[in-house]
Amino acid sequence: MSNFMPKKEHLQEILIHYFILKKSAAESYGILQEAYGEYAPSQDTCEHWFKRFKRDDFSVKDKECPGQLKKFEDQQLQALLDEAACQTKKQLAERLNIAQQTISNRLQAMGKILKEGKWEPHQLNERQMENRKVISKMLLQRHERKSFFHRIVTGDEK
C-alpha cells in the first residue's frame, strides 16, 4: 500500500457502501482491517456507524454533543498562569469555559503542582536540589556525632 492515509469520512463512506450491500458490521470491519491495517476503524466504531445507518442517518459528520465544551490549547492555560499563578482550578476552568477535570488533567500533563497557592513546575531546580543535599549531609553528620539514644527519656513506673 502507498502512503495513502484514509480520512475518517472516507472510511465512513465505505461503511455506507457495505451497509447498502447488506454486509454486517463485523464483516465490514474485517474487510477494512485487511485493506487499511492500522488505519482501519475499530469494530466498535463500525457497529456504531451501522446503528446510525439503520436509523436512516447517513451523514458522515460527527454530531456535536449539546453539553460539549470547547477545546483549548495548553498555551491558553499557560498564558493564564503567567498572568496570575495563584488562580484556582475553578477560576481557570471558568475563564477558559472548560471542565475543572480537564484543567486538572492538563496541569498534570504540563508538570504543574500547587505550591503555596501558586502553580509551579513539579521538578526541583538546581538550587533546591543542592539545598536538599546540604541539609541531608548536615543531618547525617549530626546523627554520627550524637546518636539518638541520648534523647530517649526513660523512667520507672513509680
- Domains, in order of start, for the chain: 8-54 (1.10.10.1450), 74-121 (1.10.10.10)
Per-residue pLDDT, 57: 85
The DSSP annotation for 97-130 comes to TS-HHHHHHHHHHTTEEEETTEEEESS--HHHHH
> Tens of pLDDT along 38-77?
888 888 888 988 898 898 888 877 665 555 444 556 788 8
- What's the mean pLDDT in 122-132? 84
pTM above 0.75, yes or no: no
Is pLDDT above 90 for 133? yes
Q: What DSSP character marks residue 146?
A: S
Cα dihedral 46, 51, 55, 56, rounded to 10, equals 10
Rounded distance, CA 113 to CA 107, Å? 7
